[in-house]
Amino acid sequence: MAAEAAGWRGGWINRLVARPGFQRWASDFPLTRARARRDGAALFDVVQGFVKSQVLMAMVELDLFRRLRAGPMTADDLGHALDIPADRMQVLLQAGAALGLLKRKRGARFGLARQGAALMGVPGLEAMIRHHRAFYRDLEDPVALLRGPDRTELSEFWPYVFGARGDVALDVAQTYSDLMAQSQLLVAQDTLRSASLKGVTRLLDVGGGTGAFLEAVGRAYPRLEMTLFDLPQVVPEASERFARAGMADRVQIQSGSFRVDALPGGSDAISLIRVLYDHSDSTVQALLEKVYDALPAGGRLLISEPMGGGQTPDISGDVYFAFYTMAMQTGRARSAGEISDLCRAAGFEDIQSPNPRRAYVTRVLTAVKPG
């Protein structure tokens, strides 16, 4: 009864707030004025979100952050260098300053703000922003995307999908590997802060690409032996990476597809880093069962990827990554609870998922094969 009463009260309040007359009154009444203005500003921020993204895209495409790293410049200077009318360059620079990426200086000049400088220091961020052109085209008609089109820009951009579309061209694998390797550095940092590999003797990284995550693991755990498992088209650069890092004698590289091949044995821990959200529930369940079979009793499973919030919706997992995976047409952003259920169905126990340091980067879930 209490829940029904609360629901009735909530519905009544929402109907009241939805009336235009109420909004006019609330923005003038002293006790509700501040809240009404905050709500209005927050709503407008959602409305203008795509414009913000496109302003950022223009700044990255024009390489403004690197140009301004040398020192502040005027709209005239930048416009002349980039073949853009000075008045329009002024609009872009002013917008960048409003977003907190640039700062207005004396003499009509603009320089880097702290966030603009930080953007250049985030591995792979500028490449990901450029890559968003394909994602934005899929979002041009969001209702059509929700209804399930036959093809999307992202599904064509990533035809590899770990072998889902058959053979993968080397140039496509290279594009995928470069983009994922750059973004994997932040993921590795947050993953290793959230999950300990103490006591592990050999870690198998499934879908590990060119080995960016394992390189980070190797540096954090100098005595740990490692195995990389991924498609043959994706791993050619891995041996070079490990050789440069002085880890060639610690890493075995085995090629294959987890869809059709058995996973290599001999590891007491297996990691799945940004793997599950690329695939359907049936593929994920089959993979988790393979992981379970490949581990010894007491073996550990480490999962790290962006996740939805479940009962507490998360703005990164349930907005950005949920629609990104929808456009990829191969997987979805699951909550930690949903992934936990899939792990239990595969036989895992002691499932834990600590609060993420940066949910927009990744969230970690660990589980153990009972002994």
315: which 2 tokens?
């703005």
In the predicted structure, residue 41 carries a pLDDT above the cut 70: yes
In the predicted structure, residue 65 carries a pLDDT above the cut 50: yes
Residues near 223 by beta carbon (within 8 Å), at least 6 away in sequence: none
E-state strands within the chain: 73-74, 102-104, 109-112, 202-206, 225-230, 251-255, 269-273, 300-305, 349-352, 363-368
Task: Indicate the DSSP class of residue 18.
Answer: T
What is the pLDDT averaged over residues 181-206?
91
Q: What is the rounded end-to-end Cα distance, in angstroms, of the chain?
A: 46
What is the pLDDT averaged over residues 294-323?
95
133-368 CATH fold:
Rossmann fold (3.40.50)
What is the pLDDT averaged over residues 3-20?
56
In the predicted structure, residue 11 carries a pLDDT above the cut 70: no
Q: What is the Cα–Cα distance from 282 to 287, expressed in whole angstroms? A: 9
Exposure b/e, 243-258, CB count within 10 A at least 16 = b: eebebeebbbbeebeb
The pLDDT tens digits of the residues spanning 267-305 come to: 999 999 999 999 999 999 999 999 999 999 999 999 999
What is the pLDDT averaged over residues 5-28?
58
CB 187 within 8 A of CB 213: yes
Q: What is the Cα–Cα distance from 112 to 106, expressed in whole angstroms? A: 13
Q: Residue 209 — pLDDT band, cuts 50, 70, 90?
A: confident
In the predicted structure, residue 319 carries a pLDDT above the cut 60: yes
Q: Residue 309 — pLDDT band, cuts 50, 70, 90?
A: very high
Q: Please give the pLDDT value at position 21.
A: 63
CB 299 within 8 A of CB 270: yes
Q: Please give the pLDDT value at position 168.
A: 45
In the predicted structure, residue 239 carries a pLDDT above the cut 70: yes
Q: What is the Cα–Cα distance from 214 to 238, expressed in whole angstroms? A: 10
Q: Please give the pLDDT value at position 178.
A: 62
Residues near 239 by beta carbon (within 8 Å), at least 6 away in sequence: 248, 253
pTM of the prediction? 0.84
Residue holding tokens 């500028």?
126
In the predicted structure, residue 350 carries a pLDDT above the cut 50: yes
Q: Please give the pLDDT value at position 166.
A: 45
* Residue 80 C-alpha from the chain's centroid: 36
Among the ranges 27-31, 174-178, 196-200, 257-261, which has the highest mean pLDDT value? 196-200
Q: Please give the pLDDT value at position 32.
A: 64
224: which 2 tokens?
């740990």
Q: Residue 122 — pLDDT band, cuts 50, 70, 90?
A: confident
Domain ranges in the chain are 2-47, 51-121, 133-368
104: which 2 tokens?
């207005």
The C-alpha R_g of the chain, in whole angstroms, comes to 24
What is the pLDDT averaged over residues 56-81?
96
In the predicted structure, residue 15 carries a pLDDT above the cut 70: no
In the predicted structure, residue 8 carries a pLDDT above the cut 80: no
75 closest CA partner among 89, 55, 58: 89
Q: What is the Cα–Cα distance from 110 to 107, expressed in whole angstroms? A: 9
Q: Is 145 helix (H, G, I), strand (E, B) or coil?
A: helix
What is the pLDDT averaged over residues 162-188?
59
* Pairing status of strand 73-74 against strand 109-112: antiparallel
Q: What are phi and psi of 247, to 5 degrees?
A: -115, 10
In the predicted structure, residue 345 carries a pLDDT above the cut 60: yes
CATH for the stretch 51-121: 1.10.10.10
Q: What is the Cα–Cα distance from 226 to 75, expressed in whole angstroms? A: 52
In the predicted structure, residue 58 carries a pLDDT above the cut 60: yes
93 closest CA partner among 71, 115, 78: 78
- The residue type of 235 is V
What is the pLDDT averaged over residues 38-59?
89
- What is the secondary structure of 206-259 as a DSSP string? ET-TTSHHHHHHHHH-TT-EEEEEE-TTT-TTHHHHHHHTT-TTTEEEEE--TT
Q: Residue 123 — pLDDT band, cuts 50, 70, 90?
A: confident
What is the pLDDT averaged over residues 190-202?
96
In the predicted structure, residue 171 carries a pLDDT above the cut 60: no
β-bridge partners, 251: 226
